[in-house]
Amino acid sequence: MKTKKKIIKSSPRRVAVRKNKKGSKKKKSVKTAALVRSKENPMISPSAENGWEAWQTFNPGVILLNDKVYFLYRAIGEDGLSRFGYAASNDGFHIDERLSYPVYEHRVGQRPSFNIFSYFSGGSFGGSEDPRIVRVDDEDTLYMTYTACDEGLRVALTSIKVNDFLNKRWKWKLPVLISPPGEVHKNWVIFPEKINGKYAILHSISPEILIDYFDDLNFDGGTYIKSCYSGKIRKNCWDSWVRGAGAPPLKTKHGWLVFYQAMEGGDFSKYKVGVMLLDLNDPTKILHRSKEPVLEPSEFYENVGFKSGVVYVTGAVVKDDLLLVYYGGADSYVCVASAHAEEFVEALARETKPKLKVKTLKKK
């Protein structure tokens, strides 16, 4: 399996200007987009009735199928292991179905002993963490990347047929580890379309974009993606320490929309969310980046839980012209924020600071 790695820094930014009647230059006025937290948050909370999800439920992978939003959320329960639960929503804001049993567990190479990396990565003793699920083009397969607690924290890849998923037949393909042994990696996402005829996996934005391309996603268990996390500090910006990608990219006419997690220099107690647009044909090129966080911890469900001060995006879809962004709050809850999709992306493309507003969500 041949891989190709590309690195590029963000492109220069431009500010649109116009002249007033006296000839002086004035910034062009444009509409600012906003993410709006749902007043129904949190969508999913721990359930004492089910021991396997009694402590924490957070960081969901999501997929839109037949105009319905499906969730695979991370859950930690009484035995301290991290597993994935299943839920579904017709409107994207309210849970209509939630199974009482886990639908995915990581078992390959997993030892039952305490895993210190996993504990600091969300509170579990081991298992599987932070699923990202995607359908590439119109294939009959859903691919899922996740963090596996194997020899530290490694990235695993599995898949399931669309019909099996929709009919709750949990026939997951045996997972394969795609990051090298002896290294800690997280937050790898697959693009939902082939790029120049290749499958694409984004595996680092720290802060340069690293992507590898493949003819197929049939890893053999001995082929690994060579990634790196530079830990480089960006100066004079809110996202001085970029941690990793959030949801799988969303395709827009302006570029690939990618949410990411970051921390601000001098305040490493909070995880905040930024967003960028990447070039459609060469997504190693950053076209635009949010000048301030589009989501940061301020509500009680983002500050009262296993880990205070955390908002962590792991899923996003566009449904009925709405951009629905799903995230974990305080490593304990599943939450959603939304925006008009076109307005949000256009504001980002104009670099007019897409940002968060809190207001009442109008129900249809």
Ranges of H-type helices in 306-353: 341-349
pLDDT tens for each residue of 121-180: 666 678 899 999 999 999 999 999 999 987 778 999 999 999 999 999 999 999 999 999
pLDDT given for residue 124 in this prediction: 67
> Residue 163 is inside which H or E element, if any?
helix 162-166
| Homologous superfamily of domain range 28-357 | Glycosyl hydrolase domain; family 43 (2.115.10.20)
Radius of gyration (C-alpha) of the chain in whole angstroms: 20
Tokens representing residue 189 in the block? 């996402």
- Could you give the CA distance from residue 104 to residue 6 in angstroms, rounded to a whole number? 33
pLDDT reported for residue 125 = 72
Q: Which of 274, 238, 206, 209 is nearest to 11 (CA)?
A: 209
Query: For 51-90, how does the pLDDT look when each residue is reduced to its tens digit (9 = 90+)?
Result: 999 999 999 999 999 999 999 999 999 998 999 999 999 9
> Where do the domains of the chain lie?
28-357
d(CA 7, CA 166): 38
d(CA 298, CA 310): 9
User: CA-based angle 242:37:145, to the nearest 5?
Assistant: 45
What is the tens place of the pLDDT at every residue in 9-44?
333 232 233 333 344 444 444 444 579 999 999 999
Contacts from 52-56 at CB under 8 Å and sequence distance 24+?
52/77, 52/78, 52/79, 52/81, 52/83, 52/85, 52/101, 52/102, 53/77, 53/83, 53/85, 53/102, 54/78, 55/123, 55/306, 56/122, 56/123, 56/305, 56/306, 56/331, 56/332
CA distance 128 to 148: 5
Place of tokens 């969303």: 250
